Amino acid sequence: MASIQRVARNCRKVMCIGRNYADHVKELNNTKPKQPFFFLKPPSSILLPGAGPVLRPRGVAMHYEVELGLVMGKTVRDLDPEDTQGAMDAIEGYLLAIDMTARNVQEEAKKKGLPWSIAKGFDTFLPISNLIAKSRVPDPHNAHLWLSVNGEIKQSDNTGLMLFRIPRQLSDISRVMTLEAGDIVLTGTPKGVGPVTTGDVMKAGLQVDGKDIKDATIEVP
Amino acid sequence: MASIQRVARNCRKVMCIGRNYADHVKELNNTKPKQPFFFLKPPSSILLPGAGPVLRPRGVAMHYEVELGLVMGKTVRDLDPEDTQGAMDAIEGYLLAIDMTARNVQEEAKKKGLPWSIAKGFDTFLPISNLIAKSRVPDPHNAHLWLSVNGEIKQSDNTGLMLFRIPRQLSDISRVMTLEAGDIVLTGTPKGVGPVTTGDVMKAGLQVDGKDIKDATIEVP
Ligand SMILES: [Mg+2]
Ligand SMILES: [Mg+2]
Ligand SMILES: [Mg+2]
């Protein structure tokens, strides 16, 4: 727990990939990207484990998106997309995250060609788990993400379904902007996103070899 | 100079307002917003005074936008738009900034309804001046921004032309996301934005009562 507070304190950017699971692209009627695209969430949106509920702003249709997060342990720029070792060495550890999204605000922004920063950036819109030791996830492209709302499973898919894998993501980001030690990268959400409102209980987890990793649990009242 | 390094180090988000000067809205063929909209730049895009040139990424049409920046001295949320005193008290000091923009990348994003984070977030895309003491700018809505390229004045307008003033900006932002001490807010650019390329020299300044403020100078080779 102490370590995740350090992660939150040291984080200077949260970079997220969009449309990185084919079935999720379809469910939002989006087109499959030829190359990855990214957006920023502010560090102020982080909600630490046990820090209370996600706050739904008035008039906002709030959606959950469960994602595998990377915590950067090294500062990297211009990473080669083929440099799998370099990418993996730059990661300090993992976390589970819910990329909360004001879907109606985002849809409006998309229609008008406006930025996504508000739709993605409200306070509490980034619930995270504890820091997950790297050794607990031997292969980040073979882990199972799940999320339930009020006890009903809504998302449940393997990270192997990512359209663009982690080295490619870190390469594309770091060719635009330096990834600094402490930055967080969210690797995209599988299908099954949907609405939650005040009072709904979200739980999420990450399984390796069919077992939930203890530090990868999120429970948001 | 030491103080601006501290500002850069402590900054966890850079929040920027779009279309906040009527003549700039017109020159980009945009519609005048009924309410302010905002986007994030990553702290990694900051270019400190004297730290070298802005780097033009291959294939990028790079535009300058000179802006008055606010450095937050207090953490604020849910600020009332009428609370001018509260807004001013939350500001530690000012800086001058150039919100460099990959205009072709941004136009493409706008067309496709995609985020602006890449277009705004390349390394070196946020040249800043030294920290300007608050006392040097008695009225931030009556200061004169200017920017020249290779000695030719391109932007020159008074901050009094802002469509949405600083208290309204801080209110709108802080109702979405907490503004933390150390955050930077960019208040928009006046008309006259345009392209620069490798080798062009940008200079920018801020005048109060017709005189350039020493700490508000930017010179980017
Ligand atoms: Mg954006
Ligand atoms: Mg997402
Ligand atoms: Mg701007």
> Ligand 1 centroid vs A116 CA: distance in angstroms?
4
Across residues A191-212, what is the average pLDDT? 97
What's the per-residue H, E or C state across B79-130? CCCCCHHHHHHCEEEEEEEECCEEHHHHHHHHHHCCCCHHHHHCCCCEEECC
Domain ranges within chain B, ordered by starting residue: 2-220
| Alpha carbon of B52: minimum distance to chain A alpha carbons (Å) | 16
Give B155→chain A minimum CA distance, Å. 24
Q: How many CB atoms lie within 10 A of CB B60?
A: 18
In chain B, which residue ranges form alpha helices assigned H by DSSP? 2-10, 22-27, 84-89, 103-112, 117-121, 166-176
pLDDT average per 10 residues of sequence, chain B (221 residues): 89 96 86 89 98 96 98 97 97 98 97 96 98 97 98 97 97 98 98 96 98 96 90
- Considering only CB atoms, which residues of chain B are within 8 Å of chain A? 11-13, 15, 18, 37-40, 42-45, 57, 77, 109-111, 113-118, 121-123, 176-180
* Residue A70: strand, helix, or coil: strand
Residue A199: pLDDT above 90?
Answer: yes
Task: Decide the pairing of beta strands A91-98 and A66-72.
Answer: antiparallel
Whether the CB-CB separation of B181 and B13 falls below 8 Å is answered with no
Q: What is the mean pLDDT of chain B?
A: 96
- CA B43 to the chain's CA centroid: 13
Q: Residue B40: closest CA among chain A residues belongs to which residue?
A: A117
Do residues B54 and B145 lie in contact, with contact meaning Cβ atoms separated by under 8 Å?
Answer: no
Asked if residue A184 lies in contact with residue A67, where contact means CB atoms within 8 angstroms, the answer is no
Instruction: CATH number for B2-220: choose from 3.30.590.10, 3.40.50.620, 3.90.850.10, 1.10.1740.10.
Output: 3.90.850.10
- Which H or E run includes A205? strand A202-208
- Using alpha carbons, select from A50, A39, A36, A35 the residue that is nearest to residue A13: A39
| Smallest CA–CA distance from B55 into chain A, residue | A176
Position A1 pLDDT exceeds 80: no
ipTM of the complex: 0.95
Instruction: Yes or no: say if B63 and B41 are a contact pair by the CB < 8 Å rule.
Output: no
pLDDT at A177: 98
